[in-house]
Amino acid sequence: MIFDDASGFRDTQRLSIVGRVLRRMHVDAVLLSALLTVAAFGLVALYSAGGQDADMVMRQGARIGIALLALLLVAQLPPGVLRMWSPWVYLGGIMLLVAVLVTGDIGQGARRWLDLGVVRFQPSELMKLAMPMMAAWYLHDRSLPPSTGQVFIVLLIIVAPTVLIALQPDLGTALLIAASGLFVVLLAGLRLRLIAIIGGLMALGAPLLWYFMHDYQRQRVLTFLNPERDPLGAGYHIIQSKIAIGSGGIFGKGWLNGTQSQLEFLPEPDTDFVFAVLGEEFGLFGLLGLLGVYIFIVARGMFIASQGQDTFSRLLAGSISLTFFVYVFVNAGMVTGLLPVVGVPLPLISYGGTAIVTLMAGFGILMSVHTHRKLLSR
């Protein structure tokens, strides 16, 4: 199913009417239906996780609507245009990140927001797309695999925004954005030797990272390594979350019947820990089903990437898909106690934030890559 329209654009006449309209709108129906499936599942879960608050579900629904508009908008832009814009988007993002450090609003002890009068805006969201765009733009007309010097320049492109975001401080986002840049280099064919060197440098950089971490971030890492260390603080989240998931069993307790979440034992059930609510109420089957759709989305994304007609499209689409996978894995890993609590939401499901708009805009890029292909004579 993922690969069924590998040659779809060659024989358009075989598509249904709906398919043809969607193709005209530069929408990939397969990807879109998977995304909508997850989002709908998310709204159902939020109703339960958020204390059965219909208004909250409506607000989230509205956000998904806006996000879909962003997806449509971005999908209209051909990859060539996106490529031309890349450096400017990136530079603008860097400037906004600097602005946020200087003047940004402080929310919960960190400077992440920029107040534009009408809307408050997180420049790190923009960077989530600008980073892989810039990296792909730089490598676009180089001969691949990239040389050591070129890799070094891409690393600089990655480090600048990463440091700026880590200073906010928002370490989780910084690392994820760095990952999206690294994926571009990896997909471009980074030599194994360089991978080893970069890996070594990162291992050396870990103590440095520790030095720059805020106390609460260090606590999280230490608590991850030994949750018993802090059962009253951060360890509490993990203990309660494991109880929620484990007590869900194979089939779950049923929608609205999760005692851990309904009785508010579980912290942040509607945002970072919504995965645990799903696990408690829908059980192993529910989670496997959800993971299945997620994997389908990633696979479809990688398929679209491999069909991309130029280096830029391939690298960008590949990076966006892999980053999406990382979001899913990091959140699920954190909630199940595999990874430290890093505050990454479950994509398309967790309540709130502008993250969902960015996410959908990213999928808009994938659709643009897939639907703007021209017939090539081979």
Partner 1 sequence: MQFMSRERIKDHWREQRIFFFRALAAGIIAALLILLLVSRLVVLQVFNFEHYSDLSRGNRIRIEPIPPIRGLIFDRNGVVLAENRPAYQLEMVREQVPDVESTLKRLTEAHLIRETDLAGIRERLGRTRKFEAVPLRFRMSDEEVARFAVQRQHFTGVDIRARLARHYPMGPRAVHAVGYVGAISNNDLQRLDPTAYAGTSHVGKVGVERAYESSLHGRVGYRQVLVNAQGRALQTIENNPPVPGKDLRLSLDARLQATAFDALDGRRGAVVAIDPRDGGVLAFVSTPGFDPDRFGAGLSHEEFAALNADPDKPLFNRALRGNYPPGSTIKPLLGLAGLHHGATTPGHSTFCPGFFQLPGREHKYRDWKREGHEHVTLFDAIVQSCDVYYYEMALELGIDRIHAYLASFGLGEASGIDIQGEKPGLLPSREWKRSKYARPADQAWFPGETVITGIGQGFMLATPLQLAHVTATLAARGRRLQPHLLAAIIDPANGALEPAVTQPLGSAGSDEPGYWNLILAAMEEVVHGERGTARAIAPQSYRIAGKTGTAQVFAIAQEEEYEAESVEERLRDHALFVAFAPVDAPRIAISVIVENGGSGSSTAAPVARAVLDSFFEEPES
Measured CA angle at 230 (ends 243, 265), to 5 deg:
35
The span of 47-55, 84-92, 102-110, 286-294 binding partner 1 (CB under 8 A) equals: 286-294
Q: Which residues ranging from 302 to 331 are in contact with partner 1 (CB under 8 A)?
A: 302, 305-306, 311, 314-315, 318, 322, 325, 329
In the complex, least distance from residue 145 CB atom to partner 1, rounded to whole angstroms: 6
User: Of the two residues 51 and 65, which places its CB atom closer to partner 1 in the complex?
Assistant: 51
Residue 377 sits in the site that holds partner 1 (CB under 8 A): no
Selected from 121, 284, 289, 343, the binder of partner 1 by CB under 8 A is 284
Instruction: Decide: is 187 part of the binding site for partner 1 (CB under 8 A).
Output: yes
CA-CA-CA-CA torsion sign (283, 284, 288, 289): negative
User: E-assigned strands of the chain?
Assistant: 105-107, 110-115, 120-121
Q: Rounded to 10 degrees, what is the CA torsion of 356, 334, 302, 298?
A: -60
Kindly list the distances between the CA atom of residue 48 and the CA atoms of 41, 53, 54, 104, 108, in Å, as whole numbers in the listed order: 11, 8, 10, 34, 26
Provide DSSP, 251-262: T-S-TT--HHHH
154 lies in the site for partner 1, by CB under 8 A: no
Residue (101 or 144) nearer to partner 1, CB: 144
> Cβ of 87: how many Cβ atoms within 10 Å?
15
- Of residues 31 and 322, the one with the C-beta less far from partner 1: 322
Measured from the CB atom, the residue of 164 and 274 that comes closer to partner 1 is 274
Cis? peptide before 145, omega within 30° of 0:
yes
Joined together, the tokens standing for residue 2 give 């993922």
Q: From the list 100, 127, 287, 360, which residue makes contact with partner 1 (rule: CB under 8 A)? A: 287
Select the span of 28-36, 144-152, 173-181, 358-366 touching partner 1 (CB under 8 A).
144-152
Give how far the C-alpha of residue 328 lies from the chain's centroid of Cα atoms, to the nearest Å.
Answer: 7
Residues 240-259, one symbol each (x = binds partner 1 by CB under 8 A, - = not), give --xxxxxxxxx--------x
Please report whether residue 85 would count as binding partner 1 according to CB under 8 A. Answer: no
Q: For tokens 């690294």, what's the residue?
A: 182
- Cβ atoms within 10 A of the Cβ of 247, count? 15
Among 144, 153, 198, 209, binds partner 1 (CB under 8 A): 144
Q: 12 to 31, contacts with partner 1 by CB under 8 A?
A: none
Closest CA to 323 of 351, 301, 356: 301
Residues forming the site for partner 1 (CB under 8 A):
141-145, 147, 183, 186-189, 230-233, 236, 239, 242-250, 259-260, 263-265, 279-280, 283-284, 287-288, 291, 295, 298-299, 302, 305-306, 311, 314-315, 318, 322, 325, 329, 332-333, 336-338
